[in-house]
Chain A
């Protein structure tokens, strides 16, 4: 293994560089609706796959591909089945599924792609937040609260400090992440000291924080006696706004900000932390078998705290990105679902940070495409909410099946019975 011949490693270095050089601009171009970026992405994929083939050798590579396909088969089937069920609902209620879905995907993927990307940005962060806690075996159901804390922190610092953007924006992100982590410190301490379940504590925090928002907005400009926007704070100075794609790609949508790139970078970072660091290793060990982790000297309280704090920081980053990139102020009750939807996105991606990039984009495009569909075909948007729920329902059902091994085996034997249906019919004819 270690005595790899020189040419192969040289090829691998070339393939590695090529992957990176093609993937970064390809992603940026595609996200900015320059759809020819897809060619660069395809090239990057080819280079990446070539690199993996060189690294693993053909048989190992193909078995890896097969297992990856097997793992993504269920989510894919779930999504297709949910769309079909959605079509059935449309038929039953008198809408045309073909033209509706055409509008959905045209709206989500082409016409309103920039809106899809904008929708996906905070979801990607909150999805990562929930997934990180899940990897450690904790259910951070209150990402919504940490999201709001991030929004408030960003608004507050953005309004209070007048610094150049290059200093202020990173400062705001760090501060928001810190405050988000601090928010989760209390549930973490309660969990470690008293065993109070994080589902209850983080959820209660989420509600407590959301009631703070009118107070906060009132303090920063939302005064109904002399404000145009009683439900929004003052606008942040432009120096604190995140740069837009338009500043370097003239045809990009003017609202599209670079938050999505930060979010994708975060996903890569989270994957790196989980896979390649000692901390991530311990988080996964505790998440998979706390008893074995404990018996091997891994401190459960410390890992509990680490995964909940990092989770809180990621959810707060979602809020900061939304304020600095899109809203530029804090709205009351706006973006109410980002925290909750993060749970769906993490579940759909099986807590895999890279998969979360795609599931959050899927959620984003269903939202924006759904709105476009409602506008152009009069098919109600709520059908898309139903489709989203069905996707989740099917995937959760499948996960429950896996938990209960026997049920899964029974399901398989039922499938097999399906493939043996012919013999069954023959028997019936015979008798």
Chain B
């Protein structure tokens, strides 16, 4: 924002290139960051954003090119040196210890010590002071595991500030946040920038770039393909830069045929969540063939419990789950799977995939009982391989052969492995939770297309998502979950984002009427 020729930028890279063997992860990248500025680093998954940040943070050494801080060339051998120079990183996956308190987490690795004694109270005072100065309110004595994800992120930011970071690098900071938390984060970041901290956010979400940053760099396949002032560009141009082609994010949905009888029905289902608090309260809903019911809602309003309940990881305390007219409340997950219930879990690395397993093994997960992949208790390796090759072709899974571990795939390709596995079983009912979280534009489009294809084939789909855009793009009907209750339900054509958003925050508004 400041246009001063004399003052060198806080952080600058000149022609940074990073090679891993023959793969070039970053090629000739020059960016610059002024004091108090917020810039965005935009790119699809695998575009080289994280590599660049790891180079900046001293985790990797650039193959060529240089990094300058305050106009002075630096070379970091480790993150510790980068931190000493005033760099702070907030990772996508938090590096925090769940059983320690906020203060303990913040000072961990940099404790004020006198004669082997940690000056806990002095540290706590500094944490309180920091959080007040920057408006990052969090209880310094709370145990980390009791905090929400948004507050945990705050602790990460405080951790960087405690180490006197002048440059804050945030890797996909909103990937795990609810819309409300995103807003809070953004106002915190703006306040920090006003106070002189320079900020880089790494993201692939266009709206965030537009609303937060003053300048944006776009990376594609390891190269810098564009630099724009945010005020002089729009989302369409940036999307174009990112994927190298025009993307149409609005998908043709097609009308659902009015279903006579729902395939899956929840009848007044209640369940207690963790710590015995009611998580779902008398929830009733139904999904018909060839229909997508979108469940909107702020995270933590019963979505996780609803997923567990429908797929069979939990049993309802009261009420019934009816599938094809049959009460399946007591059926095991396996029986439900065999009966035709598919599940794309929200946490794809945690419960969707076995990361060390190969692509072909992950595709066989859950079908390792009988033919065609197994015979008399033995795996049929040839069938496994053929199944994988066919699905990888059908679902456009790229980046590796069938024998390669899925952990090496990008997020989008990992999700495609899950879709391929679930969709190829031709489920009558599919539960999809957060199917595009952390994916880039190209992959999102692909996932949408496959889901709609499945729906056109007559599958009943229950979509759970925290992103309203997604709900509106895919659903035929929209329901809002609030405090474990159905706060609102309407066909997509007869409602709008404002109305749904209202119910997400306020819950039921017709309580007197019902």
Contact = CB atoms under 8 A, between A and B. Distances in A.
Interface stretch (A27-35, A286-294, A342-350): A286-294
B374 interface: yes
Contact of A289 (B59, B61, B354): B354
A376 interface: no
Contacts of B343: 295
B351 A291 contact: yes
A414 B61 CA distance: 11
Contacts of B19: none
A296 interface: yes
A413 B368 contact: no
B379 A297 contact: no
A279 B369 CA distance: 9
A410 B364 CA distance: 36
A100 to B, nearest CB: 40
A278 B355 contact: no
B374 A292 contact: no
B333 A289 contact: no
Interface string B371-396: 00010011101000000000000000
B453 interface: no
Contacts of A292: 350-354, 365
A70 to B, nearest CB: 13
Nearest to A299: B334
A162 interface: no
A416 B338 CA distance: 52
A297 B366 contact: yes
B333 A295 contact: yes
A416 B77 contact: yes
A9 interface: no
Nearest to B389: A1
A285 B369 contact: no
B337 A297 contact: yes
Contacts of A417: 77-78
Nearest to A272: B378
A298 B361 CA distance: 14
B351 A409 contact: no
B150 interface: no
A413 B368 CA distance: 42
A27 B345 CA distance: 49
A276 B354 contact: no
A406 B95 contact: yes
Contacts of B357: 284-285, 288
Contact of B368 (A282, A288, A299, A406): A282
B58 interface: yes
Contacts of A99: none
B377 A278 contact: yes
A174 to B, nearest CB: 20
A275 B381 CA distance: 10
Interface string A385-427: 0000000000000000000001001100110110010000000
Interface in B101-132: none
Interface string B74-118: 000111100000000000000100000000000000000000000
Nearest to B367: A296
B278 interface: no
A291 B364 CA distance: 16
A281 interface: yes
B356 interface: yes
Contact of B311 (A285, A295, A299, A420): A295
Nearest to B335: A297
Given A294-B313, A298-B366, A299-B334, A281 B351 contact: no
Interface string B447-481: 00000000000000000000000000000000000
A295 B351 contact: yes
Contacts of A279: 377
A294 B333 contact: yes
For B59, B61, B354, the residue with the greatest tally of chain A CB atoms inside 10 Å of its CB is B354
A294 B334 CA distance: 9
Interface string A175-218: 00000000000000000000000000000000000000000000
For A278, A285, A294, the residue with the greatest tally of chain B CB atoms inside 10 Å of its CB is A278
Given A292-B351, A295-B343, A413 B356 contact: no
Interface in B320-375: 332-334, 337-338, 343, 345, 347, 350-357, 361, 364-366, 368-369, 374
Given A292-B352, A297-B334, A285 B58 contact: no
B113 to A, nearest CB: 21
For A275, A282, A296, A298, the residue with the greatest tally of chain B CB atoms inside 10 Å of its CB is A296
A72 interface: no
A413 B354 contact: no
A406 B355 CA distance: 18
A277 interface: yes
Interface string A41-55: 000000000000000
A276 B378 contact: yes
A281 B354 contact: no
Contact of A278 (B58, B61, B313, B368): B368
Contact of B78 (A278, A298, A413): A413
Given A288-B356, A409-B59, A293 B365 contact: yes
B356 A281 contact: no
Interface string A122-165: 00000000000000000000000000000000000000000000
Interface in B197-236: none
A285 B61 contact: no
Contacts of A284: 354, 357
Nearest to A295: B351
Contacts of A281: 361, 364, 368, 379
A406 B80 CA distance: 12
Nearest to A424: B77
A413 B61 contact: yes
A240 to B, nearest CB: 33
A410 B78 contact: yes
A94 to B, nearest CB: 36
Contacts of A298: 334, 365-366, 368
A406 B91 CA distance: 12
A285 B365 contact: yes
For A279, A288, A289, A299, the residue with the greatest tally of chain B CB atoms inside 10 Å of its CB is A289
Contacts of A285: 354, 357, 361, 365
Interface in A268-318: 275-279, 281-282, 284-285, 288-289, 291-299
A282 to B, nearest CB: 6
A98 to B, nearest CB: 38
Contact of A297 (B58, B61, B333, B353): B333
A185 B79 CA distance: 48
Interface string A64-102: 000000000000000000000000000000000000000
Interface in A301-341: none
B78 A414 contact: yes
A244 B343 CA distance: 57
Contacts of B59: 409, 413
For B59, B345, B351, B355, the residue with the greatest tally of chain A CB atoms inside 10 Å of its CB is B351
A158 to B, nearest CB: 33
Contacts of B379: 275-278, 281
Given A276-B381, A416-B61, 19 more contacts: A278-B378, A281-B364, A281-B379, A282-B368, A285-B354, A285-B365, A288-B354, A291-B347, A292-B352, A293-B365, A294-B313, A295-B343, A295-B352, A296-B366, A297-B334, A297-B366, A298-B366, A298-B368, A406-B95
7 contacts: A276-B378, A289-B353, A292-B365, A294-B313, A296-B365, A298-B366, A298-B368
Interface of A: 275-279, 281-282, 284-285, 288-289, 291-299, 406, 409-410, 413-414, 416-417, 420
Ranked nearest first, the 9 interchain pairs of A and B with the lowest CB-CB distance are: A296-B366, A297-B334, A291-B351, A289-B354, A296-B365, A295-B351, A417-B77, A297-B337, A288-B354
